[in-house]
Structure formats: C-alpha cells, structure tokens
Amino acid sequence: MPRSPADRNWLASLVDEILKEQGPIDGTPKAAELPPAEKPVDLAAAARVLVARSLRTRRPPLPPMGPEEVFRETVRQHIVLLLDLRLFSPAAPTLERARAELAGFLAGALGEEALSLAAANDPPSPAHDRDVERALSAAGKTLRARFFPPGDPRSGLPLSSGSVAVLRRHLARVTGGFARSGRLEPEALARHAEFAAGELSALAEALSGLLSTGSSPDRRERFVRSRQLVRLGLAGSALREARRRVARPRSPEELARALPEPVRGFVLEQLFLAQLRSALPQDGPARLVEAFARAARLDPQVVVQAQVEAAAQAGDPQAFFKGAGDLAAALDWHALAEDFGAAADQVLERISTVVSQNLGALVEEIRQTGELGTLLGKAAAGGRLSADEKRKVRAQLIDLAKAVPALAIFAAPGGSLLLPILVKLLPFNLLPSAWDRVGGERRPPPAPGTEPEGAPAADPAESPPRKARTGGNVPRSRR
C-alpha cells in the first residue's frame, strides 16, 4: 500500500519500491547491466536527452488520478530519471549503496547539502545508514512542500510544469557532477543550486510577462503569485529579486538579453508550453514570444525544437502546426535568421548531419510509421507526390520529430521544400518491396536502434530517440 506524502518515510518507501521493481543483479539494478560505451559519452548531452524524455506526456494517457497519485507519479519519474542518469557513473557495488546515492542526489537538488554529502560520499556504517534515512526524509518533506498538491492556484502563474522541469535539470547536473568525480562536492552543489534558482526566477518573470499581455494582475493575483515564489524554494535575496521581477517584468527583449544562453532556450520552451495550456488571447502572447525568440538570437532550429518539446509535454505533438493562426505560423522564421541565405546553407548541413548521425533511429521510426516509408520510397524512386501525399509526409515527419527533434524544421513554412534533400540523404531504398533487399540479395532488416556499418556515432544532443544512441549507455525509458 503506497504511503501518503504526509508520512515521514514516504519517499524512502517509494525509492525502495522502485529499486525492487528494477530487480537486483549481484546487488545492482538490472538497468545498470548495459554494454559499455564504445567511446566517451557526452554527459551533458545525454542528460538533456533523458530530462527531455522524462517530461513528455506519456501515451496512452494515464487513467484519472487524485492529487496524491499525481504527486507520487511525478516523484516516481524523478527517481526513474536518476536511475537512468546514474548509469553514466561506475556501478554501485550494492543495492544499499545505490539507494544511498539516490538519497544524496535528491537531497542535494532540494537544498539539503549536508545530508546530501553524507549520504552520497560517506562509507557504510550505522551512522551512514541514519544519514541516508535523514536525507530521504528531508527530501520527501521538501518535495511535499514545493510540489503538493500538484498544479497551480487559479489566480497564479502556470509554474508547475516549469518547476518540475527545473528540478529535473537540477538533478541531472548534480548526478553529472557525481559521474565525473565519483563524489558530490559542496562547491558544485552550491553552484547548481544558484543556477536552478536563476532558472526559476527567470521562468516566473517570463510567465508573469506572458500573462500580463492579457490584463494587469489585480491585488489578489499579485499576492498569489508572490506566494508561489516561496513554494518554488526561493529565499533571501533571490526571493526578493524574483518578487520584484514578477511584479514588474522586463520586456521580452530585455529578459532574453539578460539570460545565459542555455536558459533562453528553456524559457522559450516554457513560454510555448504556457501558451498551449493557458486560455489566453493569441495576439499579445504570440508577439511576446516572438520578441523573446528574436532577442534571444536562438538558432531557428532551436526555436522549432523548443516548440516540439512543448507540444510533446502538452500531449499534442502537432499543436503548433495545425493552421495558419497558430503561433508557429505567426513567428517570422526569416527574421529569426538575420541572413536567411547564409542560414539556409547551415540548415542543409544540419539536416545532413542529423540524418547521418541518427540513421539507425530513422530507419526504425520510418519502418514503424508504415505510410511514411512508402511515400518516401515513392519519392526516392522518382515518383511525384501529390499535394495530399506531401501533407501526409509533412505531418508524419512532425510526429517523427519527437524522436529526432531536428527534423521539426520540416514543419516550418517552406519545410516541404527540404523533402527531396531528405530523400537523397537516406542511403537506402525505402520502397517496402525492397526494404529487406540490398543489391538484389535478401537480408534481414537491421536490429532496432542499430546503425549501418560506417555510419557515424550519434550525438545525443541532437535528438532524444526512442532507442539510445550513445554507445548503449542511454537506457530505455522505464515507464
């Protein structure tokens, strides 16, 4: 029977439950028994893939759940993400050690630095066992204070999704530091906490500006939003500065220029998500988001990827591409690339790179979509696609962008002009009758997730696929 979040040991119980589900093999979870990477893994890129995947709405949708069940499921996904991220560190020698490290990671990302260091770094002993339990208890208490009940107050900012995302990004940085040095370092924990506080403050300010395009907040709304900042875990000077910014948000141009580049893309993604989920007039928010994206000077491909991730988190992968009135159509893609002529060459080069780097995943995804393979095969054989067939290809490529986000460029205005390039870059005949033939000789189809001989290793920063492409170290999602 699941323990209530009000129980002091609810988080320890949940961690034990998840570790038991994984199943011990010689004292370690089954997921740790993966083939070693053939080359060093880019930890930051792999972490971005796993965090993004953890935030997407799962299909089929979960059955209706009460607040405690929703909260518990969210925390479960935090722990599953940690288990995935933990695979980039040397395997824990025992299940107890793996549990202690999970306690350290959770406590470290939730402000319990001393308990975090003791749980993750200290050797086994009765005192260490008590530290692990205290770390889990403190982390559980903070999770409850910050995220239960789930959701946002009626008059508040749409912060809940973004705050979950910030925590998972924070967990990834904490775990990445551990993977590099084999222990948690107090200076790194402090640095990660400061960065996460900056993300939360920027997110709150951006969302306050988005909502203010409709109407100025009244006194009650200002009070509710101020209280939300406390729930985010902000305190001291960080809380005072966030309150000031939320009360009087800067223009989107000022905010974009003030943010570090990695935070700009995240804030843009959250603005897109809030736009999808909030019943706001289209014109004002669309102009604000467009102004932010332009001032942030983000690559057009990054903007499209932010849209795809937001739509995936909202549960509608084609949300931005359904009609001329949508936000994607409102964005001036040519203006986002100051010199579109030069940008076009870069886009073509990126498409070529992403196809070659993600060839194994593309083969598997295209095979699974069925009709897309047939239509691309027709084009590869020299046939002409009708307007309706081109629309089908474009729509299915947008779905495919959930596995390879860089392909979302096909959803942008004029993206269909790139289809012939994609067909030429795919080094195989996609016609179903020739799918399992090469040079007239029959051979079995490639194993899912494998790449043809000579294909370059994939970069996980480019796309979060269903199958891992980081030498085998990125696991399947445990859902």
pLDDT in tens, the chain (479 residues): 788 888 999 999 999 999 998 765 444 444 433 334 444 456 787 788 889 888 887 655 556 789 999 999 999 999 999 998 888 777 778 899 999 999 999 999 999 999 999 999 999 999 999 999 999 999 999 999 999 999 999 889 999 999 999 999 999 999 999 998 899 999 999 999 999 999 999 999 999 999 998 788 899 999 999 999 999 999 999 999 999 999 999 999 999 999 998 899 999 999 999 988 876 767 888 889 989 999 999 877 778 778 878 887 887 554 444 433 343 444 443 343 333 334 444 555 566 666 666 666 666 666 666 677 777 777 766 677 787 887 787 777 777 776 666 666 665 545 555 566 566 556 444 444 333 333 334 344 444 344 333 333 333 333 333 333 333 333 333 33
**365 contact partners, CB below 8 Å, separation of at least 6:** 400, 403, 404, 465, 466
Cα-based distances in Å from 405 to 301, 328, 351, 415, 432: 9, 15, 11, 14, 25
pLDDT of residue 417: 52
Q: How far apart are CA 101 and CA 120, in angstroms?
A: 5
Cα-based distances in Å from 228 to 55, 201, 221, 426: 21, 11, 11, 49
Neighbouring C-alpha atoms within 13 Å toward the C-beta of 351: 23
Its pTM stands at 0.68
pLDDT of residue 456: 32
Task: Specify the length of the chain in residues.
Answer: 479
User: Contact, 175 vs 109, CB < 8 A?
Assistant: no
pLDDT of residue 407: 65
Cα-based distances in Å from 158 to 125, 154, 257, 271, 314: 44, 9, 23, 10, 13
pLDDT of residue 460: 33
Distance separating the N- and C-terminal Cα atoms of the chain: 20
User: Contact, 443 vs 437, CB < 8 A?
Assistant: yes
Q: How far apart are CA 207 and CA 301, in angstroms?
A: 23
